[in-house]
């Protein structure tokens, strides 16, 4: 299983910082006015004028920012969080009891730990969409509607960071376009092979790679990605009929892709790759098994 790394603090943190900075500025103005006019030092009217200038709406946002934690709290266990004055955890402006918070975090991190951090294959994109679907199903069975929405948002937020990470990696100069007419339509990127890596491959396999680059497993056909994601979201893989239906679909759309990746003499590897995607130690079934265990 992959551990969950702190991949960027939730985007709402910037907004919260701005709100708190605004509040600090208003408090500073109160102090400045008090010094300028000693007669109002400690007087209630002076404070009321300055604070009310923020407006009720902004004050409410300040209050929410103090009490509220971003949805990343459900997948970033490295960030310590505490209960608010009411003794509950407020995540995404929705309250969770201590038991509910722990359960919600276990659900999201349990799914997230099944997903790969790095460059993303077609199977990775499929699993990310499946994770969102299964988290939604599990949350609907155990939490309120408001809590369910926050939990699903946390899973989507985590996936968005995986995509950002993938895009960052493939933008680096060691990834180049795959010009092969067949393989390129599915696997549009090659990765240059450094000389030390060639030396190591020669030691392991007894021959040195002749090419300066190798085809990667990075998914680049957006249409195929969307077909896989759509199918996995509209099919209930926790039921045998739905799982069987999806397996047939996955084999039908992924065999041409894997056939394009492997030479003719290695076509049998396509079937092995598909089986690994579905039933391997990091395959689709691991997420399904986790969800079924959760659902009881």
Residues 134, 225 within the same domain: no
pTM of the prediction?
0.76
Residues 160, 205 within the same domain: no
Question: Do the domain assignments include residue 1?
Answer: no
Specify the range with the lowest mean pLDDT, choosing from 34-38, 98-102, 266-270: 34-38
Residues 44, 179 within the same domain: no
Question: Do the domain assignments include residue 4?
Answer: no
Question: Do the domain assignments include residue 6?
Answer: no
Q: Are 155 and 134 in contact (CB under 8 A)?
A: no
Which SS3 state, helix, strand or coil, does residue 91 take? strand
What's the number of domains the chain is made of? 2
Q: How far is CA 23 from the centre of its chain?
A: 32
Residues 158, 276 within the same domain: no
| pLDDT for residue 226 | 98
Residues 98, 148 within the same domain: yes
Structure tokens at 38: 């000693």
Tens digits of per-residue pLDDT, 240-259?
999 999 999 999 999 999 99
Residues 161, 249 within the same domain: no
Per DSSP, the chain holds a count of helices (H) and strands (E) of 11, 6
- Strand blocks (E) in 81-163: 89-91, 94-96
Residues 249, 217 within the same domain: yes
| pLDDT for residue 55 | 65
Residues 38, 76 within the same domain: yes
pLDDT surpasses 80 at 53: no
Question: Do the domain assignments include residue 88?
Answer: yes
Question: Do the domain assignments include residue 283?
Answer: yes
pLDDT surpasses 50 at 10: no
Question: Do the domain assignments include residue 55?
Answer: yes
Question: Do the domain assignments include residue 5?
Answer: no
Question: Do the domain assignments include residue 7?
Answer: no
Residues 187, 268 within the same domain: yes
| pLDDT for residue 125 | 98
Which SS3 state, helix, strand or coil, does residue 296 take? coil
pLDDT surpasses 50 at 207: yes
Confidence bin at 294 (pLDDT 50/70/90): very high
| Whole-angstrom distance, CA of residue 287 vs CA of residue 279 | 10
Tens digits of per-residue pLDDT, 217-248?
999 999 999 999 999 999 999 999 999 999 99
Residues 156, 189 within the same domain: no
| pLDDT for residue 40 | 41
Q: How far apart are the first and last CA of the chain?
A: 22
| pLDDT for residue 215 | 78
Residues 29, 144 within the same domain: yes
Residues 25, 137 within the same domain: yes
Give me the domain span that covers residue 96: 12-166
| pLDDT for residue 46 | 39
């Amino acid at each position: 299983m992959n551990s969950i790394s702190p991949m960027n603090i939730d985007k709402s943190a910037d907004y919260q910082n701005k709100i708190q900075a605004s509040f600090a500025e208003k408090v500073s103005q109160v102090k400045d006015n008090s010094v300028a006019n000693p007669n109002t030092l400690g007087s209630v009217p002076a404070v009321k004028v300055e604070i009310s200038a923020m407006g009720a709406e902004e004050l409410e946002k300040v209050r929410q920012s103090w009490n509220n934690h971003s949805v990343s709290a459900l997948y970033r266990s490295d960030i310590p969080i505490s209960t608010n004055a009411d003794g509950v955890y407020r995540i995404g402006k929705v309250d969770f009891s201590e038991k509910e918070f722990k359960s919600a975090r276990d659900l999201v991190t349990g799914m997230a730990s099944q997903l790969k951090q790095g460059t993303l294959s077609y199977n990775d994109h499929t699993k990310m969409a499946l994770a969102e679907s299964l988290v939604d199903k599990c949350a609907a069975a155990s939490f309120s509607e408001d809590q369910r929405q926050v939990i699903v948002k946390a899973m989507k937020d985590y996936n968005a960071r995986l995509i950002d990470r993938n895009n960052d990696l493939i933008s680096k100069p060691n990834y180049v376009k795959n010009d092969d007419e067949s393989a390129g339509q599915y696997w549009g990127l090659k990765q240059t092979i450094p000389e030390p890596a060639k030396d190591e491959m020669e030691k392991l396999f007894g021959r040195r790679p002749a090419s300066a680059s190798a085809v990667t497993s990075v998914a680049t056909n957006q249409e195929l990605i969307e077909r896989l994601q759509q199918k996995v979201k509209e099919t209930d893989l926790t039921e045998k009929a739905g799982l069987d239906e999806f397996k047939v679909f996955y084999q039908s759309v992924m065999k041409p892709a894997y056939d394009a990746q492997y030479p003719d003499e290695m076509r049998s590897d396509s079937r092995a790759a598909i089986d690994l995607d579905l039933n391997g130690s990091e395959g689709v079934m691991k997420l399904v098994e986790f969800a079924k265990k959760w659902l009881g």
